[in-house]
Structure 1
Amino acid sequence: MGEGEGCLSTPQPPMSVVKSIELVLPKDAIYLAGSSIKGKMILTLNSTLVDPIVKVELVGRGYIEWSEEAGASRDYSRNVICNNKADYVHKTKTFPVEDNWLSAGSHTFDFHFNLPPRLPSTFSSKFGHVFYFVQASCMGREHILAKKRMYLLVQGTSAFHKETPLQNPLLVEAEEKVSYNCCRQGTICLQIQMEKNTFTPGEKVVFTTEINNQTSKCIKTVIFALYAHVRYEGFTPGAERRSRLDSSELLRQEANTHMTRFNTTKIVSTFSLPVLLSVSSSTRDGEIMHTRYELVITVHLPWSLTSLKAKVPIIITSASVDSAGCQSSEDGVLPVSPDHQN
């Protein structure tokens, strides 16, 4: 998110002592958990300001909410609201003001914050969100004179990959006996091969699909899709623990290849992962959501009543700032191209 994007400003009256308040941060940056956030606050005054409080805050929060029926043994006409929230970071930098006054004109204040080493990624869905922002403010003796907020993109980290054995290389197979032309039967075998199934955001996922068609029918369409399965953990007003699973399709490709009868066809596919992703996570107390990923390959059989599917677990991790190496441009800040800003 670049300078001037995603900023919320407090409207100023025409004769306010504060002319403007600005935040200057690297343009289109994704911050790694554990990295530093460096920027400037520029405060421009119309006149002298006495006893000001000038500060910048770094805030990270998460909130989820959904409604569901009260329960099988209760009144189905009544919905209950389930929600949960988390505070991930809140740091404040208050700038010293010499002689407790600022003259008319522009004043620049440099600041930096260190993000905690373990954070969830910036996230948004119909059930919740995780967001981070830097907020600058200037206060007089009794009230806020001006403030501005700029939202940040943060790539989170997790210890998931340290606890789960890596499955490299990976081979997944599926087989289906199908009926067609009334009394004829055949077998279709699906095999997916990957050199690894553990990736970082922005990395390319390469896999080979082998389809052994032992029928007298041709196969024309294969769908490759990457799904994110998010489990939300919330509580009812009565403090009962509830959870909800929501799945979404992140990436999709369709291969229209003529796969002849009694033959084997190989398809090599590549997915480019988004540069900002929630990392895979196992269930832990105190976390409001947990994410897992799955690559699903579907062979459509229009001449049969069935389709053949194979599912491959995908693990998303994120390197720490210390080990990010050439991924980092400076202090764990990753630039994001315009194609990946949303």
Structure 2
Amino acid sequence: MGINKFDVVLEPQQQAYTSGQDVVGRVLIRADSLTSCRAILVKSKGFARVEWGNEYPKNSEEVYFENIVTVWSGTSHGENLPAGEYCFPFQFKLPPKIPRSFEGTYGHIRYVIEAKAEIPWGTDQLSSVFFNVECKYDLNEIEKSSDSLLFHKEENVCCCFCEQGPVIISLCTEKTGYIPGEYVLLTGEVTNRAGWHIESAEITLHETVKYKIKENTKVKKERLQRVERPGILSGQTDIWLSVPIHIPDSAVCLQYCSIMTAIYDVTITFSMGFCSEASIRRSITIGSVPVGKVTMAVEGAPASPTVPVPSAPPLYSTLNTPNHEVVPILHQPKSSSDLDKQEEV
């Protein structure tokens, strides 16, 4: 007989916790008879792990916190747990600077609470529960996140091996730091001084996740969004007024993790058909607390259609409320069948 129920539960149950928040729970036990037991322990742990390879796997792990507390001791009970039902509470505070939960191709960031009943001369009873954590990365505290992002470039293009005049790109955004759900709005002008017309323009948002094991690196690159614009005739100027590209909820903030990083790039490409292309790329910063004006929707019809790449959302993401409070929303992990994924070693 002995212990026939041994569970660890979080109360109240939340879709996600925020760094710095208290995590509260209970260990629920039912013993049908007097049971040999030295102690009941609760361990909380937050860690990141990167791993790849089959025959000779490589891995790396970093731990953000690991705490063990004794919620019941059998010392004064002759190392015996009397028959009955028990509820042992526990509570601990998450550190203020820890990364968000993440499930990736070559690694993950996870948070777990494990309860253990130490049984002398027997098999220990174990119960665990994983929980999601949202990183509180305030863009207001990040240098230059409120600065304009400049896309300025003058590039000569070649057509049939002959150098043509330049394509002059003079665009900017209101800021550099964004949260998932916002739009990057591009304003300015593009002048085509080449002797050949620009057939089309394309804006793309790419996510690059880098996984590190010592000196080794794996890279997973994915196109998240694409926006198309019409071409520009030779000698003409195209005016851009808040041309939007959406940052999807799948964008992640992996700050405070040293073995995984996420980089987000906005690339603008002008295609000259069979001739060369003119392009410019800039990086944006993803956080969880917005800076400056928050653009969660585009008023009126967009200047050009947005063509999203089908992609499953991450473990959870954030939605900004009117008072800028971050509300976690639970999602499923990304699917391995997402389109436009590329891998590099």
2:67 maps to amino acid: K
Match of 1:223 in 2: 203
Judging changes above 3 Å, is the alpha-carbon distance between structure 1 residues 265 and 18 closer, same or farther for their aligned structure 2 residues?
Answer: same
**How many angstroms apart in 1 are the aligned matches of 2:206 and 2:273?**
26
Aligned residue identity for 1:254: V
Q: Measure, in 1, the Cα distance between the counterparts of 2:217 and 2:331.
A: 33
The aligned counterpart of 1:313 is 283
Q: CA deviation at 1:339?
A: 6.6
Residue in 2 that maps onto 1:37: 23
Could you say which residue in structure 1 is the equivalent of 2:49?
Answer: 63
Q: Is the 8 A contact 1:23 1:40 kept in 2?
A: yes
* Match of residue 113, structure 2, among 130, 134, 142: 134
Counterpart contact for 1:44–1:106, Cα < 8 Å? yes
Aligned equivalents of 1:147 and 1:326: distance in 2?
42
Q: Structure 1 pair 161/230, CA: closer, same or farther in 2 (3 Å)?
A: farther
Which deviates further from its counterpart, 302-311 or 18-27?
Answer: 18-27
1:123 aligns with 2:102: yes
Tell whether 2:148 aligns with 1:169: yes
Corresponding position of 1:207: 185
Q: CA deviation at 1:85?
A: 2.5
Measure the CA separation in 2 of the matches of 1:276 and 1:217. 35
Q: Separation in 1 of the partners of 2:128 and 2:14?
A: 16
Distance in 2 of aligned mates of 1:244 and 1:41 = 40
- CA–CA distance in 2 between the matches of 1:115 and 1:43? 25
Question: Which structure 2 residues correspond to residues 143-292 of structure 1 after superposition, within 5 A?
Answer: 143-156=122-135, 164-166=143-145, 168-180=147-159, 185-200=164-179, 202-208=180-186, 210-215=189-194, 216-230=196-210, 232-234=212-214, 242-244=215-217, 246-249=219-222, 251-255=224-228, 257-261=229-233, 262-266=236-240, 268-274=243-249, 277-280=252-255, 288-289=258-259, 291=261
Paired residues of 1:292 and 1:315 also in contact (CA < 8 A): no
Please report how far the alpha carbon of residue 82 of structure 1 lies from its aligned counterpart in structure 2 after TM superposition.
Answer: 5.6
> 36-45 or 223-232, which moves further after superposition?
223-232
TM-score after normalising by structure 2: 0.68
How far 1:58 moved relative to its partner? 0.5
Structure-2 separation of matches of 1:327 and 1:107: 41
The percentage of counterpart residues that share the same residue type is 18
Specify which structure has the bigger relative contact order, considering alpha-carbon pairs within 8 angstroms and separated by 6 or more residues: 1
Contact 2:102/2:108, CA 8 A, preserved across alignment: yes
User: In structure 1, how many angstroms separate the alpha carbons of the residues matched to 2:117 and 2:251?
Assistant: 32
What is the identity, as a one-letter code, of the residue corresponding to 2:329? V
Q: What TM-score comes out, normalization by structure 1 length?
A: 0.69
Residue ranges of structure 1 left out of the alignment (5+ in a row): 1-14, 68-78, 235-241, 282-286
Q: 1:22 to 1:80 in 2, by over 3 A?
A: closer
Equivalent residues of 2:46, 2:111 under 8 A apart: yes
Deviations 1:100-157 (A, max 9, x none): 3555554322221111222233334344333221112223234444322222222346
Q: CA RMSD in A?
A: 3.9
Q: Distance in 1 between matches of 2:282 and 2:190?
A: 16
Secondary structure of 1:95's aligned partner? strand
Pair 1:56–1:250, CA change in 2 (3 A): farther
Separation of aligned partners in 1, 2:163 and 2:104: 46
Aligned positions of 1:289-300 closer than 5 A: 289=259, 291=261, 293-300=263-270
8 Å CA contact 1:60–1:90 kept in 2: the answer is: yes
For residues 91 and 279 of structure 1, what CA distance do their matches in structure 2 show?
23
Contact 1:178/1:304 (<8 A) preserved: no
Residue in 1 that maps onto 2:66: 90
